[in-house]
Amino acid sequence: MTKPAREWSVEIELQVQFFDLDPMEVVWHGNYVKYLEQARCALLDSIGYNYPEMKASGYAWPIIDMHLRYIGSAVFGQTIRLRATIVEWENRLKIAYLITDPQTGKRLTRATTIQVAVEIATGEMCFVSPPALYEKLGVKPS
């Protein structure tokens, strides 16, 4: 994998809402997936290749793998910071996430997602990322 000329990363902040809590009054583990999606969309927006642009380029990008490691709990009213960073792009789109408490710097969750390009017209999975992604990242295929 070639080294990027810059890091493709964004940070967003969210406030934990009451409806995201479980009976133990912490964020229910399944809601972290929703938080990752918000950070991923902000990241994809930053490169101009969010889901509508993906579709327009002829590709769907389903998530085929997701890993989450819960380190600490987020609670009602807490502001959390989510950082999403593209770490692989040549054969798949791998995004690494870090969720922290911006006031203390404490890590709350680490995660990764992997998406692959699927040609919409044929339904075939691509084993190499399509030129549209390279163009949006401003890199040349190796």
Q: What pLDDT digit, counting tens, does each position of 78-90 carry?
A: 999 999 999 999 9
Instruction: Give the per-residue pLDDT at 99.
Output: 98
Model confidence pLDDT, tens digit, residues 64-77: 999 999 999 999 99
Instruction: Give the per-residue pLDDT at 3.
Output: 45
Model confidence pLDDT, tens digit, residues 19-58: 999 999 999 999 999 999 999 999 999 999 999 999 999 9
Tell me the CA distances in angstroms from 76 to 63, 69, 73, 108, 124, one per residue in order: 28, 20, 10, 14, 43
Q: Given a cut of 90, is residue 140 above it in pLDDT? A: no
pLDDT over 90, % of the chain: 93
- Residue 128, Cβ neighbours under 10 Å: how many? 13
Contact 80, 101 (CB under 8 A): yes
Instruction: Give the per-residue pLDDT at 6.
Output: 60
Architecture of domain 9-137: Roll (3.10)
Read off the pLDDT of each residue in 103-115 and give the average, rounded to a whole number.
Answer: 97
Q: Who has greater pLDDT, 88 or 142? A: 88
Q: Given a cut of 90, is residue 137 above it in pLDDT? A: yes
pTM above 0.85, yes or no: yes
The one-character DSSP state at 98 is E
Instruction: Give the per-residue pLDDT at 7.
Output: 79
Q: Given a cut of 50, is residue 1 above it in pLDDT? A: no
